[in-house]
Each structure stands twice: as C-alpha cells, then as structure tokens.
Amino acid sequence: MDALNASSSQELALVSVSREPISDEVISYLGFIFKLVVNPSLQLLGIVANVINMAVFYKMGLSDGVTQNFFILSFSDWLFSAFALVNSLTYILQAQVFGGREVHTEFVHNASYLAATFPQTFSLITTVVIAVIRCCCVAMPLRVKYLITARRQLAAILIFSASALFILLYAFTPIQVMYVHNARVNISLPMFMEIRWYTYTLFTNIFFYIGFIVVIICVIILTISLNRSTKFREKSSSGGGAGTSGTETSGQAKEGRKEARVVKTVVFLCVIFILCYTPTVIFTLFGTVEPEFSATGFFRNANAFFLILIVTAMMVNANVNIFVYYLYNSRYRAVFMSMFGEQEK
C-alpha cells in the first residue's frame, strides 16, 4: 500500500512538473536579456523622448490646459525613467561587475526602486486628470471651457499628487537601513526595513485600480463621442452647410477638427496606458486566484516572467507618447520640426 501511495505521489509530481509553463532556463535567459539589455535601453530612450517632449511643450507655451498637462505627464515619465535607469545600472554593476558585494551600489539600487514609486504615481494621476477633463469637455463643452481653466487643472493635479505624496511618505517614514548577511557573497548588504508595507500596498492597489477603471470608462466615452462627431462632420460637409455662412462653416469645421485631434491624442494616450498596465492587472488577478502563483510557489517562473513583463511595459508606457504627440498634435509637430528639423510647410 505504501509503495502504491509512493508511486501515485511520484506520478502526481511528474504531472505537476509537466504543467510548469516556463522552465528555469527560459526565465533565466529572459531575465538576462530584459534586465541587462531591453529595459536599460527603454529607460534611456524614455529619458531622451521626454526631454524632447518637455522642450517642445515648453516652447508651445504652458498657458493652454492641454499643453500644460502633457508637459506634466512628460516630466513624470522622464523622472520615472531616470529612477528606473539608475535602478537598472546599479543592478548591472552589482550583478556583473561587483559580484553582488558592493554595499553602496546595493543601497542606491534599493533606494531608486522606492523613489520610482513617486513619479509613477504622479504619471497615473496626470493621465486620469487628462482623461476626465477631456470627457467633461465632450459632455459639457461650453461650461468646461470657462469652468475648468488651465490653473484649475493644474490645481487638481497638484492636490491629488500632494495627497498621494503624503500617503507614500507616511508609508516610508519609519524606514530603517539594516545590514543583513548574505551567505551567497559572504557580506552584509543594506536592506530597507520597517516600511509600512500594508499601508503602501493598500494605497497603491486601490489608487491604481480606481485610476485604471476611470481611464477605461473615459476611453469608451471619448471613442463614442469621436465617432459621433466624425459622422456629424461628414453629414455637414455633404449637406453643404445650409443655413450658415461660408466663414462660419469654415470656422466651425476647423474648430471641430482641432477638438477631434485633441480627443484622438487623449484616447491613444489612454489606450497605451491601459495596454501597458494590463500585465499588472493580470498579475494581481492570478496571484489572487492561484496561491501557487508567487515568488516561491509552483508557478514561480510564471510569476517572475510577469514581473519582467510589468517592468518592461511600464518603460514602454513612458516612451511611446512622443509618437502620439507627433502624429496627432499639429502644433507639437510644427514646433518639433522647427527645433529638430526643417520648418513644416
């Protein structure tokens, strides 16, 4: 009977092993490629791209609410990319150069990881504010134009960012640096202890999911509005604008096209945000329904793969906005070309 049970246990173990979705060799290779090559490259590109964005938006003038908010978003993404690059470089130095034995490099590596939380949160806040304001402009165009001014939009971003900053600082305030002996390299390395992880985790999860859901709702509303306005302009142009003067029709058409470009820009920014943060949502859901989906569980390699994917997706989110601005913002494109190329005709 014992032999039968042992045989059954071995068979179950073999079945379990066969269910392992990602092998140790594959996850090791992916970790090497992404941590040492892909992510640092994306982080460097993110710094360059967002410096260009900030320079262009600053030259465009920050008196307009849309330009102002895009500038803030670019600054947040730039700061996030900078902290992330420091984190990657210290990881490379510690892993490939110092053999995991350099104390100061380990400290900077851990500190940059925590510091990146702040600009990442500010970027989320700015994205949500941009999406909500554009929805308000679609729903109440006349009221919003005079009610939600550029200063009030800035105030909204600053108030929410200050609130988030206060909560994060509260979570990090008790932090202590403790030196823990690492048997692998036979040296004591610094670790951050006494952080209020429960407060930090609760806040970041609630804050993220509320923002994520709000952005999805805004994308749906803006997409419906964009389709309606497109159909309306097509009917108006085919009808010849009866009952209005040529100047008035031309002015309304120009204003409509401008608003449509702004809506398209916001929609694409939000869609990029949704796509890039979807791995985070999937990671959380898997971890909730499957206890073995953890750093030490049976699906540890799948867990590690998603963590790699999450970081890379965040880097992509901080990078690609420059292409959206260039393609769908004519003012941005004109200023960009005047600064870095020939004047657009």
**Is a pLDDT exceeding 60 seen at residue 136?**
yes
What mean pLDDT do residues 223-252 have? Answer: 62
Confidence category of residue 246, pLDDT binned at 50, 70, 90: low
Show the tokens assigned to 113: 């990881």
In whole angstroms, give the CA distance from residue 99 to residue 314.
28
Count of residues making up the chain:
345
- Judged by DSSP in three states, 196 sits in coil
Contact of 218 with 135, CB cutoff 8 Å: yes
Provide the 8-state DSSP code for 342.
S
In whole angstroms, give the CA distance from residue 292 to residue 17.
13
Per CATH, the number for 28-235+256-339 is 1.20.1070.10
The reported pLDDT for the residue numbered 8 is 42
Contact of 313 with 273, CB cutoff 8 Å: no
Non-local (6+) Cβ contacts of 122 within 8 A are 72, 76, 79, 161, 164
Give tens-digit pLDDT for 21-58: 778 888 888 888 888 899 999 999 999 999 999 999 99
The reported pLDDT for the residue numbered 113 is 87
What mean pLDDT do residues 244-256 have? Answer: 57
User: What are the boundaries of each domain within the chain?
Assistant: 28-235+256-339
The reported pLDDT for the residue numbered 21 is 72
The reported pLDDT for the residue numbered 10 is 41
Instruction: Give percent above pLDDT 70 in the chain.
Output: 81
**Is a pLDDT exceeding 90 seen at residue 343?**
no
